[in-house]
């Protein structure tokens, strides 16, 4: 690290659990953030400010006026632009020291496999079950830790699915692919703005810890937030022995 980096990251370096060694791990790391909306904005902004060396942002949507209430990486003047490109501008303004790749594309299974293979950690910041399951399948297949977040109305949830951890569940163990979940889009259901900030920031925190190998992750636990009464609930979640995604994987 050069002198400017030592200053920029000094409040991390001062932490015994991080230090220069931990910060160097972040600078050498690559994070894949899927979705540059309500969750992806704060998650990617914290990864950028914290010095994750390479962040890849994927989103095929464009910035809409209705996004600005909660998707804080975007600005009024960038309405109509690609969300990935818009968020990239914000991240590089926060931290020009890192590399940010903006991908304005809708990813299928094959493309996800390519992108996940390059990443050290994957953040699912999407808002639909089809993409969530596709991301989970890629992470299980390639053995990459997945930090998953979701927010709707006043409710949030966050967890980590780490296929490197042995007996821990994958996303599909909790939310089976064949089960019909009400796929409610934020655009139609409403979202309390700060909750995506709370959950997105927690996703960044878990991703940074995983990259540095410090603390204990949320793997095996699902944290649920009732934002209307501001109460957290933590439930232990186990592996489904019949899960079609991870049961055949011998970890």
DSSP 218-236: SBTEEEEEETTTTEEEEEE
Q: Are 206 and 160 in contact (CB under 8 A)?
A: yes
- Enzyme catalytic residues: 186
How far apart (Å, rounded) are the C-alpha atoms in residues 132 and 142? 15
Q: How far is the CB of 236 from Zn ion (least distance, A)?
A: 15
How far apart (Å, rounded) are the C-alpha atoms in residues 192 and 197? 10
Q: Does 170 bind Zn ion (CB under 5 A)?
A: yes
Q: Does 57 bind Zn ion (CB under 5 A)?
A: no
In the complex with Zn ion, the residue whose CB is nearer, 95 or 172, is 172
In the complex with Zn ion, the residue whose CB is nearer, 96 or 244, is 244
In this structure, what token pair is assigned to residue 138?
């890629």
In this structure, what token pair is assigned to residue 82?
């690609």
How far apart (Å, rounded) are the C-alpha atoms in residues 18 and 86? 30
How far apart (Å, rounded) are the C-alpha atoms in residues 179 and 134? 15
Q: Does 135 bind Zn ion (CB under 5 A)?
A: no
Member of 173, 205, 207, 211 binding Zn ion (CB under 5 A): 173
Q: How far is the CB of 41 from Zn ion (least distance, A)?
A: 29
The region of 1-9, 58-66, 167-175, 192-200 touching Zn ion under the rule CB under 5 A is: 167-175
* Residue numbers 229-248 binding Zn ion by CB under 5 A: 243, 245-246
In the complex with Zn ion, the residue whose CB is nearer, 29 or 243, is 243
The region of 26-34, 101-109, 166-174, 200-208 touching Zn ion under the rule CB under 5 A is: 166-174
DSSP conformational letter for 19? H
Q: Does 139 bind Zn ion (CB under 5 A)?
A: no
Q: Which three-class secondary structure state does DSSP give residue 9? A: coil
Q: What is the largest CA-CA distance in the chain?
A: 54
Q: How far is the CB of 170 from Zn ion (least distance, A)?
A: 3
Which residues does residue 231 pair with via DSSP β-bridges, in sequence order? 226
Q: How far is the CB of 246 from Zn ion (least distance, A)?
A: 3
How far apart (Å, rounded) are the C-alpha atoms in residues 175 and 135? 13
* Residue numbers 177-216 binding Zn ion by CB under 5 A: none
In the complex with Zn ion, the residue whose CB is nearer, 131 or 172, is 172
In this structure, what token pair is assigned to residue 120?
């050290």
Q: How far is the CB of 243 from Zn ion (least distance, A)?
A: 3
In the complex with Zn ion, the residue whose CB is nearer, 14 or 236, is 236
Q: Are 245 and 172 in contact (CB under 8 A)?
A: yes
Report which residue's Cβ sits closest to Zn ion: 243
Q: Does 172 bind Zn ion (CB under 5 A)?
A: yes
Q: Which residues bind Zn ion (CB under 5 A)?
A: 170, 172-173, 243, 245-246
């Amino acid at each position: 690290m050069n002198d400017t980096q030592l200053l920029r990251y000094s409040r991390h370096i001062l932490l015994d659990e991080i230090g220069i060694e931990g910060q160097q791990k972040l600078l050498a790391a690559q994070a894949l953030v899927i979705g540059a909306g309500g969750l992806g904005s704060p998650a990617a902004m914290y990864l950028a400010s914290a010095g994750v060396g390479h962040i890849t942002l994927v989103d095929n949507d464009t910035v809409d006026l209705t996004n600005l209430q909660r998707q804080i990486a975007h600005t009024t003047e960038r309405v109509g632009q690609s969300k990935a490109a818009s968020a990239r501008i914000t991240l590089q303004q926060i931290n020009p020291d890192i590399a940010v790749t903006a991908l304005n594309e809708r990813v299928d299974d094959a493309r996800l496999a390519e992108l996940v293979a390059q990443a050290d950690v994957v953040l699912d910041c999407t808002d639909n079950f089809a993409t969530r399951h596709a991301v989970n399948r890629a992470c299980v297949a390639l053995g990459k830790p997945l930090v998953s977040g979701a927010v709707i109305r006043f409710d949030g949830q966050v967890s980590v699915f780490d296929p490197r951890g042995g007996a821990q569940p994958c996303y599909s163990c909790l939310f089976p692919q064949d089960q019909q979940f009400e796929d409610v889009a934020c655009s139609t259901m409403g979202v309390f703005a700060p909750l995506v900030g709370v959950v997105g920031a927690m996703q960044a925190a878990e991703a940074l810890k995983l990259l540095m190998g410090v603390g204990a992750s949320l793997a095996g636990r699902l944290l649920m937030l009732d934002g209307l009464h501001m109460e957290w609930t933590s439930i232990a979640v186990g592996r489904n022995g019949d899960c079609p995604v991870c049961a055949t994987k011998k970890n």
